[in-house]
Amino acid sequence: MNLRIGQGYDVHRLTEGRPLILGGVTIPHPKGPAGHSDADVLTHAVMDALLGAAALGDIGTHFPDTDPAYHHADSLKLLEKVVSLLEQQGYAIVNVDATLILQKPKIAPFIPKIRENLSRMMHTPLETVSVKATTEEGLGFTGREEGVAAMAVCLIRGS
């Protein structure tokens, strides 16, 4: 069986007045991630994990931040494109496990909807998609609420 592992990591600066969109869910908060796209850091980490597992480059290769087509882009739609690239290469997703590193707000109430969104875009059952969150206990750039980070690992199966 052709099993391949991938990992992804992303960071965005938090700024006042930007929407906080995580896994396609808009979470009420005065600050959100700055970026060319919707800056959905969680979805970006998942996309990079998937692309990494298939050795297909990274999100910047496929969706350059200099391309106006991706200005305010919906990252869930980009995830759909990544999944379609993998499917074209004969890969199916086995599971994804992602961790969000964010001091505030608590995202636990939004995790079911985030998992549902990711699972729908990845054509994979809900139970294969895990999303977790942690603070860094007030330490570092996430602790000072200057930024948000996300990491993800995945397993994919080739044909």
Ligand X SMILES: Nc1ccn([C@@H]2O[C@H](COP(=O)(O)O)[C@@H](O)[C@H]2O)c(=O)n1
Ligand Y SMILES: C[C@@]1(CO)OP(=O)(O)OP(=O)(O)OC[C@H]1O
Residues that bind ligand X (CB under 6 A): 102, 106-108, 133-135
Name the amino acid, one letter, at 44.
H
Give me the amino acid identity at 122.
Answer: M
Closer CB to ligand X, 81 or 106, in the complex: 106
Q: Which is nearer to ligand Y, 31 or 44 (CB)?
A: 44
- Whether the CB-CB separation of 147 and 101 falls below 8 Å is answered with no
Output the smallest distance, CB 26 to ligand X, in A: 15
The rounded distance, in Å, linking the Cα atoms of 52 and 10 is 13
Using the minimum distance from each CB to ligand X, give the nearer residue, 105 or 158: 105
Shortest distance, position 17 Cβ to ligand Y, whole Å: 16
d(CA 6, CA 29): 31
Work out which of 3, 65, 90, 108 binds ligand Y, going by CB under 6 A. 65
Stretch that binds ligand Y, among 37-45, 82-90, 112-120, 130-138 (CB under 6 A): 37-45
Task: Identify the sign of the CA torsion 115, 117, 122, 126.
Answer: positive
